Structure 1
Amino acid sequence: MTAGESEAEKFAGKDLELDKPNPARMYDYVLGGELNYAMDRQLVDDLLSEMPRARDTALLNRYWLRRAVRYGARQGIRQFLDLGSGMPTVGQVHEIAQEIEPESKVVYVDNERIAVAHSAIVLEGNDRAEMIGADAERVDEVLGHPTTRRLLDFDEPVMVLMSALVHYFPPQERDAAAMITRYRNALAPGSYLALSSFTGDQQDEEMFRAVELSKGTSEPIHLRSREEVRELMAGFELVEPGIVFTPEWHPDSPEDVGDKPELSGVFAAVGYKA
Structure 2
Amino acid sequence: MTSDNFTAAAERIDTSRPHSARVWDYWLGGKDNYEADRALGDQIAQTFPHVVTTTRADREFMHRSVAFLAETAGIRQFLDIGTGLPTAPNTHQVAQSIAPDTRVVYVDNDPVVLVHARALLASNPEGACAYLDADLREPGRILAEAANTLDFSRPVAILLMSLLHFINDHSDAAFIVSRLLDAVPSGSYLALTHATDEIGGPAVKKAYEMWNANAAQRARPRTQAEVTALFDGLDIVEPGIVSPPGWRPPEGAVGPWKVPLWAGVARKP
TM-score interval for Structure 1 and Structure 2 normalised by the shorter chain:
over 0.9
**Deviation of residue 222 (structure 1)?**
1.0
Identity among equivalent pairs (%): 34
What per-residue deviation string (whole Å, max 9, x for no partner) do you get for residues 164-197 of structure 1? Answer: 011111127x710000000010011100000111
State the alpha-carbon separation in 2 of the partners of residues 229 and 212 from structure 1. 20
What is the aligned partner in structure 1 of residue 76 from structure 2?
78
Number of residue pairs aligned between Structure 1 and Structure 2: 265
DSSP 3-state at the match of 2:116: helix
Whether 1:32 and 2:29 are equivalent positions in the alignment is: yes
**Deviation of residue 247 (structure 1)?**
0.6
DSSP 3-state at the match of 1:56: helix
What is the aligned partner in structure 1 of residue 133 from structure 2?
133
CA contact (8 A) 2:101 2:124 kept: no
When normalised by structure 1's length, the TM-score is: 0.91
**Deviation of residue 125 (structure 1)?**
6.1
Which consecutive unaligned segments of at least 5 residues does structure 1 have? none
Whether 1:204 and 2:201 are equivalent positions in the alignment is: yes
Which consecutive unaligned segments of at least 5 residues does structure 2 have? none
DSSP 3-state at the match of 2:78: strand
State the alpha-carbon separation in 2 of the partners of residues 23 and 207 from structure 1. 16
Whether 1:67 and 2:71 are equivalent positions in the alignment is: no
**Deviation of residue 19 (structure 1)?**
3.9
**Deviation of residue 117 (structure 1)?**
1.5
Whether 1:268 and 2:263 are equivalent positions in the alignment is: yes
When normalised by structure 2's length, the TM-score is: 0.93
Tell me whether 116-125 or 78-87 shows the greater mean CA deviation. Answer: 116-125
CA RMSD of aligned residues (A): 1.9
State the alpha-carbon separation in 2 of the partners of residues 42 and 224 from structure 1. 26
DSSP 3-state at the match of 1:221: coil
What is the aligned partner in structure 1 of residue 250 from structure 2?
252
DSSP 3-state at the match of 1:208: helix
State the alpha-carbon separation in 2 of the partners of residues 110 and 69 from structure 1. 18
**Deviation of residue 11 (structure 1)?**
5.3
Map 1:20-59 to 2 at 5 A: 20-59=17-56
Q: 1:177 aligns with which of 167, 174, 177?
A: 174
What per-residue deviation string (whole Å, max 9, x for no partner) do you get for residues 149-176 of structure 1? Answer: 221001000000000011111127x710
CA pair 141-7 structure 1, distance change in 2 beyond 3 A: farther
